[in-house]
Amino acid sequence: MTKQVTANRVFNSTGKVREAYAVGLLRQMLEIPSPSYREMELAAYLAEAMTGLGFCAYVDEIGNVIGTVDRGVGPEIMLLGHLDTIQGQIPVRSTAGRLYGRGAADAKGPLAAMICAAAGATAFTGKITVIGVVEEETPCSRGAMAIRNTFTQPDAFIIGEPSGCFTVVLGYKGKLDLRYSVQCERTHPSSPVAKASELAVTCWTVLTEVLGETDHTAFDKPGVTLDSISADTSAADVCMSVRTPPGFDVPGFVGKVRSRLTAGELNIVNSVTACRADRRNPAVRALTAGIRRQLGQPTVMVKTATSDMNTLAEVWDVPMATYGPGDSKLDHADDEHIMLADYIRGVAVLSDALGELSDLPTRLTAEGAQE
């Protein structure tokens, strides 16, 4: 009797997750701080919450939370978002239809929507795996890398990032993270020899000259950022990142920069290539169909940032797309929030999209047909 009452509070008569539960889940996620490298408490909470929603859920050895719903024979769909946020908590509050909190848009809102959609995707037959990964906001994306290396590729995957409830993202620029380090003997400021701080400035100048024209707003041009610099006359450390367009020659670019530096070391911290999905692929079509079912006019776009879609797309050649409620302009903002109406609509779009993907041929079926 108690289990039935609890189920009635979570699911409505059609098997969908109730709006009140969906909002409560997201609010609780926002209440749990989860900056990069400190996602453990949130992962444990979600493993318990997903278990209560009918998932087989656990936290893996590096801290990713993984939940699976098996609804019989059919395709395997992966929904993947990230647990971590940037540093700096925002007081969680709800006002005028907005829910404020660090990660509301980037990307606890999209992840919560995925969990609720998968739990209530009654029209789907097959297996859905929902994953919240660690360290997406760091250069190495350790959580997504672990999933890529340990999971068999699914029949399709959707990445949870804020796209707006009526927009599907087809691709992202790549990213090249670089670190320049140099040390010099201590000398008087009036000495004519090059100082470490001056060499750091020279490295940045050379890097921008080799890149040529840059534009953070254009998908087909690189964008460059001086992430941090720590320098004095004897030691300098510079972190730089380049958002790379499709076809960007990373080895050639780094080689040209190194050839013009007279001292110090320029090292690659991490590199991931740009990705762009075909707008006709089944994941995109399912999401746009879901948007239309929610009376929206779907649009598609590419983004000049980078996400875990890049990491998975480097190895997995399957239908893919990125989708999630929330406004990406609010990523990392001091007033980060999500419109609750958009969040609920995003749950419905994802649920409808999963229903559409029930008809997707499985990888094993496709391989058998080729034989």
pTM of model > 0.75:
yes
DSSP state of 130: E
In which domain, by residue range, is 178 found? 174-272
Which of the listed residues 249, 272, 295 is the one where a domain comes to its end?
Answer: 272
Q: How confident is the model over 81-91, as a mean pLDDT?
A: 97
- Supply the CATH number for residue 263's domain: 3.30.70.360
Number of domains in the chain: 2
- Answer yes or no: do 235 and 211 share one domain: yes
**DSSP secondary structure letters along 313-325:** HTT--S-EEEE-S
Q: Of 76, 84, 137, 161, which is the active-site residue?
A: 84
Do 12 and 120 lie in one domain? The reply is yes
Same domain, residue pair 166 and 227: no
84 is catalytic: yes
pLDDT at residue 187, rounded to an integer = 85
Residues whose CB falls within 8 Å of the CB of residue 287, separated by 6 or more in sequence, listed in order: 158, 168, 298, 321, 323, 349, 350, 353
Q: Do both 132 and 221 map to the same domain?
A: no
Longest dimension (CA), the chain: 84
DSSP state of 101: S
Indicate the residue among 272, 300, 317 that finishes a domain.
272
- Catalytic residue, chosen from 76, 135, 136, 155, is 136
Question: What pLDDT, on a 0 to 100 scale, did the predictor assign at position 368?
Answer: 52
Are both 210 and 340 inside the same structural domain? no
- Are residues 357 and 316 both part of a single domain? yes
CA atoms within 13 A on the CB side of 144: 30
CATH of the domain at 45: 3.40.630.10
Are the C-beta atoms of residues 39 and 107 closer than 8 Å to each other? no
pLDDT in tens, 319-359: 999 999 999 999 999 999 999 999 999 999 999 999 999 99
Are both 97 and 56 inside the same structural domain? yes
Same-domain status, 40 and 128: yes
- Judgement on whether residues 279 and 267 belong to the same structural domain of the protein: no
Task: Indicate if 31 belongs to the active site.
Answer: no
Q: Looking at the structure, do residues 312 and 216 belong to the same domain, yes or no? A: no
Looking at the structure, do residues 42 and 148 belong to the same domain, yes or no? yes
Model pLDDT for residues 282-298, shown as the tens digit of each residue: 999 999 999 999 999 99
**End-of-domain residue from the set 217, 237, 272:** 272
Across residues 190-205, what is the average pLDDT? 94
Contact between residue 142 and residue 64 where contact means Cβ atoms under 8 Å apart? no
Instruction: Work out the percent of the chain whose per-residue pLDDT is above 90.
Output: 91
- Same domain, residue pair 200 and 284: no
